[in-house]
Amino acid sequence: MAVRAPRPPAAPGRTDTPGSVRAWVIVGMLVVLMGLNYADKLAFGLAANPIIDEFDLTATQFGLANSVFYIPFFIATLGVGFLADRTSTTWLLGGIAVLWGLSQFSMVAAAGLGMIIFARLLLGASEGPTYGLVNHASFTWLKESDRSLASSLLSAGGSLGVMVGAPVLTWLIVDHGWRMAFIVSGAASILWCAVWLFIGREGPLSDRRRRAGKRGGDSAGAGAERGPDAGRGAAPASAAEPGPDPGFWRIVTTPTFIAVSLAAFAGNWSISVKLAFMPLYVQNVLGLTEHETSLYIVVGQLFTMLCVYVALAFVIKTMMARGHSGRVARGVLGGACVLFAGACMIAFVLLPGLPLKLAVSILAALVLISFPVGSTVIGQITPTRRRAGVLGTYAALYGLAGVIGPFVTGLFADAGATEAAGLDNGLLFWGALTLVCGAVAIAFTRPERDAERLAARAAAESADR
C-alpha cells in the first residue's frame, strides 16, 4: 500500500489576496468602526447640558471629565500598538469595540462624577489605539498603491460618524433622554464587534500570516508585500520588506517619521481647537446663529470627507500608480496641503467679510490629509512586524495636540484685551504652527531614502553579527 505524500498548503484564494473584494470589505468594516469611534466621543459633548443639570456639575468638573479622557488615551495607544506586533488585530479591534460599548453603558449607570470619570477613562483607554490599529489591519490586506486611499477612507469614517451621529444622537437626547444616546451608541459598538468576529481576519500581508506560511512551506506570502506595484512609487528593497530588523528607535528617529508626526500634530491641533473654540468664535465673534453654526459644521465635514479624504486620496493614488515617488506624491503634496491650511487659518483672522472668512476656514481642513499621508508613509519605511508599534507611537505623538491645543488657545483667549482679540491671537498661533509643520513635512518627508538607509543599516548590522 503506497504511502500518500502530504499535500502542500493551498495557496491563498482569489478572495484572500491583496486588493481583493474581501480586502475592501474589511476596509469598509474598519471605516464603520472609525465612524462609531467619533460618534461615541460626540455623545458626551452633545449631552453636556442635561448631564451638567442632572448631576449639578460645575464647569470645572465637566472640564475634568473631558480632560481625563486623554490620560489613558496616549498610554493605551503606545501599549496596544506594540501588542499588535505580536497579537492578532482581529481580536484587538473586537475587544476595543466591546470596551467602547461598556464605557457607554457605564455612563447610563452613572450616579455621580466618579462614575462619569470612570466611563471617560475607559473610553479613552479603548479608543486611543484605534486609528493606528485600523491602518495596520487594512495595510495587511492592500498593495502599497492602495494604502493611501484606504487610509483616507478610514479618516473619512470619522467625518461620516460626526455627520450621521450628530443629528441622530441629538434626536435621541431631546426626545428620549441623554441616556438613550449612550445606550444606542454602546449597542452599536457591541453589534459591530459581533459582525467583525465573523468577517475580520489577518490579511495576507500580515507578518503573522507570512511566518505561518513559511512554517507550512507556503512561499506565496513571502514576497506578497512587493506585489505588482514593486518599483512603482514603492521603496524597492526597503525597510518595509522582509529582512533584517532596523529596530524601533531607528525608525522613529528618521527625519521622515518626525516630519509626518509633526504634520499630523498640526492636523490634530486643528481638530481639537475647532471642536473646543470654533463654535464659540463663529457665534460670539462672527455673529452666527446656532442653526447657521450647525450648517457651517456640516458643510465643513462634507468638504473634509469628499475633497480631503476621498478626492485628494485618489490624486495621491494616481500619482503613485504613475510612478511618482512617495517623496513627491505624499511628502511634497501632503506637506503643501498642510502649508496651505496654515495660510488659510491666518487669512481667516485677517480677511474682511463673513463669507470669505468661512470659506477659507473650511479650506483649512486640507491639513487633515496629514493623517492618511503619515500612516502610509510610515507603512513605507517600517517592517510589517514593527508597523503596529510605530503607528501607535505616531498616533500618541500627534495626539498630544489634543491636550495642548485647547489649553494654549484658552490661554490666548484669557490674555487678550477682549474675547475676540484673544481668540484671534490663538487662531493666528494655530496658523503659524501649521505653516511651520507643513514646511518641515515638505523638506524632510523622504520615505524611499529613509527606507533604504534603514534597510542598509540593518543588513550591515546583521552581517556583522
CA atoms lying within 13 Å on the CB side of residue 170: 7
Residue 404: count other Cβ atoms within 10 Å of its Cβ: 14
Extract the runs of DSSP E, i.e. beta strands, from 332-458: none
List phi, psi (to 5°) of 295: -65, -40
Q: Note whether 38 and 128 are same-domain residues.
A: yes
Which pLDDT score is estimated for 231?
Answer: 36
Confidence category of residue 459, pLDDT binned at 50, 70, 90: confident
* In-domain check, residue 7: no
Give the residue from 183, 215, 247 where a domain finishes.
215
Q: Is the pLDDT of residue 263 over 70?
A: yes
Which pLDDT score is estimated for 165?
Answer: 80
CATH number assigned to the domain comprising residue 307: 1.20.1250.20
Percentage of the chain surpassing pLDDT 90?
23
Q: Note whether 184 and 288 are same-domain residues.
A: no
| Average pLDDT for 220-224 | 40
| Average pLDDT for 109-113 | 85
Short-list 393, 81, 454, CA closest to 240? 454
Which pLDDT score is estimated for 256?
Answer: 95
Report how far Cα 74 is from the mean position of its chain's Cα atoms: 13
**357 close to 449: Cβ distance less than 8 angstroms:** no
* In-domain check, residue 375: yes
Q: Is the pLDDT of residue 99 over 80?
A: yes
Confidence category of residue 429, pLDDT binned at 50, 70, 90: very high
Confidence category of residue 444, pLDDT binned at 50, 70, 90: very high
Number of H helices, E strands in the chain: 21, 0
Percentage of the chain surpassing pLDDT 70?
80
* In-domain check, residue 288: yes
Q: Is the pLDDT of residue 153 over 90?
A: no
Residue 181 domain boundaries: 19-215
Supply the Cα-derived Rg of the chain in whole angstroms.
23
Q: Note whether 440 and 359 are same-domain residues.
A: yes
Q: Report which of residues 39 and 324 the model is more confident about.
A: 324
Q: Report which of residues 300 and 267 the model is more confident about.
A: 267
Which pLDDT score is estimated for 339?
Answer: 96
The vertex-145 CA angle with 139 and 147, nearest 5°, equals 30
Q: Note whether 275 and 185 are same-domain residues.
A: no
Short-list 440, 144, 92, 435, CA closest to 270? 435
Side chain identity, residue 343: A
List the single range of 48-52, 90-94, 186-190, 363-367 with lowest mean pLDDT. Answer: 48-52
Q: Is the pLDDT of residue 396 over 60?
A: yes
* In-domain check, residue 1: no
Q: Is the pLDDT of residue 393 over 70?
A: yes
Q: Report which of residues 20 and 234 the model is more confident about.
A: 20
| Average pLDDT for 385-405 | 81
Q: Is the pLDDT of residue 270 over 80?
A: yes
Q: Note whether 349 and 208 are same-domain residues.
A: no
How many whole angstroms separate alpha carbon 451 and alpha carbon 251? 9
How many whole angstroms separate alpha carbon 461 and alpha carbon 308? 41
Confidence category of residue 64, pLDDT binned at 50, 70, 90: low
Q: Note whether 262 and 209 are same-domain residues.
A: no
Q: Is the pLDDT of residue 100 over 70?
A: yes
Which pLDDT score is estimated for 20?
Answer: 75
Which pLDDT score is estimated for 276?
Answer: 64
Q: Note whether 135 and 200 are same-domain residues.
A: yes
Region of 409 please: left (phi>0), alpha (psi -120 to 50) or beta: alpha
Q: Note whether 145 and 261 are same-domain residues.
A: no
List the single range of 9-18, 246-255, 276-285, 349-358 with lowest mean pLDDT. Answer: 9-18
Which pLDDT score is estimated for 221?
Answer: 42
Short-list 430, 375, 406, CA closest to 30? 375
Task: Tell me the C-alpha to C-alpha distance, in Å, between residue 338 and each of 272, 331, 431, 444.
Answer: 16, 10, 10, 14
**Between the ranges 95-99, 188-192, 322-326, where is the mean pLDDT highest?**
188-192
Q: Note whether 204 and 253 are same-domain residues.
A: no
Question: How many distinct structural domains can be found in the chain?
Answer: 2
Q: Note whether 241 and 318 are same-domain residues.
A: yes
Q: Is the pLDDT of residue 304 over 80?
A: yes
| Average pLDDT for 228-248 | 50
Q: Note whether 209 and 266 are same-domain residues.
A: no
Confidence category of residue 228, pLDDT binned at 50, 70, 90: very low
